[in-house]
């Protein structure tokens, strides 16, 4: 009996170990499957790609969903569009900051040194806003900036950051099929803000356009830049020569297929419908013109080669041998 009990015990133990091994295998399989399914859930969803244009000029690519409302879409596109303009404005001012220093007070801009002395005007921010590491004097011929420029090392910091910020929101991102987001616009602004803080630790004067841009206090009235800005409440999106109404959703225009690419034109309210999209792109038009030019050159060469004057030559007469045997060669009419 003891022997049977021992055998039974060993048999049960062996069976339990086999079951345990199988359960471990099943558990590992379930873990693998759950991980795979979770990875599938975290994969980025397919989205509608919108190519935003202003007139005929490409601006940026933007990803969204067909369920988005036109109201939200217009707001998002307008924010990115205006944000890119802000980055461009800051990038155009920073090289001036690097070359000629901070901006003079409004009452001193455009005046000569004699006029400043005569009017007894002083720039109280000149001693406060000193560039890091010292600088050099480079007079601003326009009379807009103080002329106390940062050192060459600090200039390189500013100019390199400008190039990086421009590349982040560049129109070339359309060709690279990279979608621009508001986070990318804010990142570009943060890079520019950080570079300015490195060069000017004490900050810029409150009247400096760069600081005003960073604080969203810029005054664009009467400038060309003001004509480019489109306020969110006045922005309109046009697709297929139709205005997208704010009370609808994107799927009301493009359907429910997320794998859709459309060209949308942003316009300011009251400016009318933008021009229709051309049937051929600029590159396709160039290729077509090049093809027709080459074809025309080939036809010219064929016309030049199509000269039949040789047919009047004696060597090209296929009946010459027959007339020679018949003695009909060198026959001339008329008196000799």
User: How many Å apart are CA 32 and CA 44, to the nearest integer?
Assistant: 20
Query: CB atoms < 10 A from the CB of 228, how many?
Result: 15
The answer to whether residue 317 scores a pLDDT higher than 50 is: yes
Mean pLDDT confidence for 254-281: 82
pLDDT of residue 20: 38
pLDDT of residue 307: 62
What is the DSSP annotation of 280-329? S-HHHHHHHHHHHHHHHHHHHHHHHH---GGGGSGGG-TTHHHHHHTT-T
Q: Which helix (H) or strand (E) holds 30?
A: helix 2-42
The answer to whether residue 43 scores a pLDDT higher than 60 is: no
pLDDT of residue 45: 54
Kindly compute the dihedral angle of the four CA atoms of residues 75, 77, 82, 86, in this order, to the nearest 10 degrees: 120
Considering only residues 122 and 334, tell me which one the structure prediction assigns the higher pLDDT.
Answer: 122
Considering only residues 80 and 55, tell me which one the structure prediction assigns the higher pLDDT.
Answer: 80
DSSP three-state, residue 61: strand
H runs (alpha helix) in 48-100: 70-100
Exposure b/e, 237-276, CB count within 10 A at least 16 = b: bbbeeeebeeeebbbebbeeebebeeebbbbbeeeeebee
Which token pair is 180?
């621009």
How far is C-alpha 132 from the chain's CA centre?
Answer: 34
User: How many Å apart are CA 199 and CA 34, to the nearest integer?
Assistant: 52
Alpha-carbon distances, residue 205 vs 111, 209, 210 (angstroms): 19, 9, 9
User: How many Å apart are CA 16 and CA 231, to the nearest integer?
Assistant: 73
pLDDT of residue 231: 92
Mean pLDDT confidence for 279-284: 75
End-to-end CA distance of the chain: 153
pLDDT tens string 59-92: 999 999 999 999 999 999 999 999 999 999 999 9
Kindly compute the dihedral angle of the four CA atoms of residues 312, 318, 321, 327, in this order, to the nearest 10 degrees: -60
| Contact yes or no for 25/17 (Cβ under 8 A) | no
Q: Which helix (H) or strand (E) holds 102?
A: none
| Contact yes or no for 51/237 (Cβ under 8 A) | no
Mean pLDDT confidence for 196-205: 91
Report residue 225's pLDDT band, with 50, 70 and 90 as the boundaries: confident
């Amino acid at each position: 009996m003891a022997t049977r009990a021992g055998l039974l015990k060993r048999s049960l133990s062996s069976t339990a170990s086999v079951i345990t091994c199988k359960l471990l295998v099943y558990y590992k399989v379930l873990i693998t499957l759950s991980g795979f399914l979770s990875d599938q859930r975290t994969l980025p969803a397919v989205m509608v790609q919108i190519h935003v244009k202003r007139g005929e000029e490409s601006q940026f690519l933007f990803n969204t969903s067909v369920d988005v409302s036109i109201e939200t879409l217009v707001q998002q596109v307008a924010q990115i569009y205006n944000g890119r303009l802000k980055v461009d404005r800051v990038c155009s001012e920073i090289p001036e900051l690097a070359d000629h220093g901070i901006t003079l007070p409004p009452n001193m801009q455009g005046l000569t040194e004699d006029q400043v002395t005569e009017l007894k005007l002083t720039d109280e921010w000149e001693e406060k806003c000193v560039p890091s590491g010292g600088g050099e004097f480079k007079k601003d011929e326009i009379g807009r900036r103080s002329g106390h420029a940062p050192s060459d090392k600090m200039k390189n910091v500013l100019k390199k950051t400008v190039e990086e910020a421009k590349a982040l929101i560049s129109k070339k991102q359309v060709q690279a099929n990279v979608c621009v987001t508001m986070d990318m616009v804010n990142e570009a602004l943060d890079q520019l803000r950080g570079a300015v803080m490195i060069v000017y630790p004490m900050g810029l004067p409150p009247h400096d356009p760069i600081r005003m841009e960073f604080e969203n206090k810029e005054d664009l009235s009467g400038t060309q830049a003001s004509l480019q800005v489109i306020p969110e409440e006045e922005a309109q999106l046009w697709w297929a020569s139709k205005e997208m109404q704010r009370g609808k959703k994107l799927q009301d225009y493009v359907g429910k297929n997320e794998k859709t690419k459309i060209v949308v034109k942003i316009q300011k309210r009251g400016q009318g419908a933008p021009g229709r999209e051309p049937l051929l792109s600029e590159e396709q038009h160039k290729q077509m013109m090049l093809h027709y030019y080459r074809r025309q050159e080939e036809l010219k060469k064929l016309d030049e080669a199509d000269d039949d004057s040789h047919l009047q030559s004696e060597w090209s007469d296929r009946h010459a041998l027959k007339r020679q045997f018949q003695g009909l060669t060198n026959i001339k009419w008329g008196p000799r």
